[in-house]
Amino acid sequence: MSNIVNIATSLDGYISDKDDGLDWLDLIPNPDRLDFGWADFMNRIDAMVMGRKTFEKVCSFDCDWPYTKPVFVLSRSLELLPEEYKGKAEIIEGPLSEVLQTIKAKGYEHLYIDGGVTVQSFLKEDLIDEMIITVIPVLLGGGTPLFAELPEQIEFECMESQVFLNSLVQTQYRRKK
């Protein structure tokens, strides 16, 4: 089983800006609409785990539901998802170790872990196996940080690093065991 983060951050480590906005993700012109490995990544994973806040943000986007894999929404406050998300997303709750057992029992092995709070919760329990981090060359100067305090240092190995559009540095890290 592997839990994988795939996320874009600013140079100063934020995943959304001071106004909770994401406009800075489009700072670099992408005329050929490169996907920066996104389709390959989505093929690799079996399911997604995201927090309630990220789920609601995705729902607010002015586009169709963007995921083809099952989505598990970690939430203690939501009881039901709107009917339109039936078959796409479901709520899951409990300690992360139990959540992962439940998901694995459904046959999903490779999980895409998304959203700041969720990634931080997984890291606090050293449950992240891989991180693909794409750095946008801007200092936002504030916003929602990707990382938070941790009880212990966590070492990773750098597997690959590439530059897209002469601008975005995408690096793949794997937990060093």
Q: Which residues are at the interface with a second copy (CB under 8 A)? A: 11-13, 17, 24, 27, 123, 131, 133, 135, 137-142, 146-147, 149-158, 161, 163, 166-169, 171, 173, 176
Residue 126: C-alpha distances to residues 10, 34, 107, 155 (Å): 23, 32, 22, 10
Q: 90, 99 in Cβ contact below 8 A?
A: no
User: Nearer to a second copy by C-beta: 76 or 176?
Assistant: 176
Q: How far is the CB of 51 from a second copy (least distance, A)?
A: 19
Q: How far is the CB of 87 from a second copy (least distance, A)?
A: 36
Taking the CA atoms of residue 82, residue 88, residue 92 and residue 97 in that order, the dihedral angle to the nearest 10 degrees is -160
Query: Whole-angstrom Cα distance, residue 73 to residue 85?
Result: 11
> Which residue's CB is nearer to a second copy, number 113 or number 140?
140
Cα 166 from Cα 22, distance rounded (Å): 20
Residue 120 has a CB neighbour count (10 Å cut-off) of 17
Nearer to a second copy, 101 or 161 (CB): 161
Nearest approach, Cβ of residue 158 and a second copy (Å) = 5
Residue 157 burial (C-beta neighbours within 10 Å; 0-12, 13-18, 19+):
exposed
Task: Pick between residue 103 and residue 172 the one whose CB is nearest to a second copy.
Answer: 172
Give the whole-angstrom CA distance, residue 13 versus residue 139: 8
Q: Which one, 18 or 106, has the nearer CB to a second copy? A: 18
Q: How near is the Cβ of 71 to a second copy at its closest, in Å?
A: 26
Distance in Å, CB of 41 to a second copy, minimum:
19
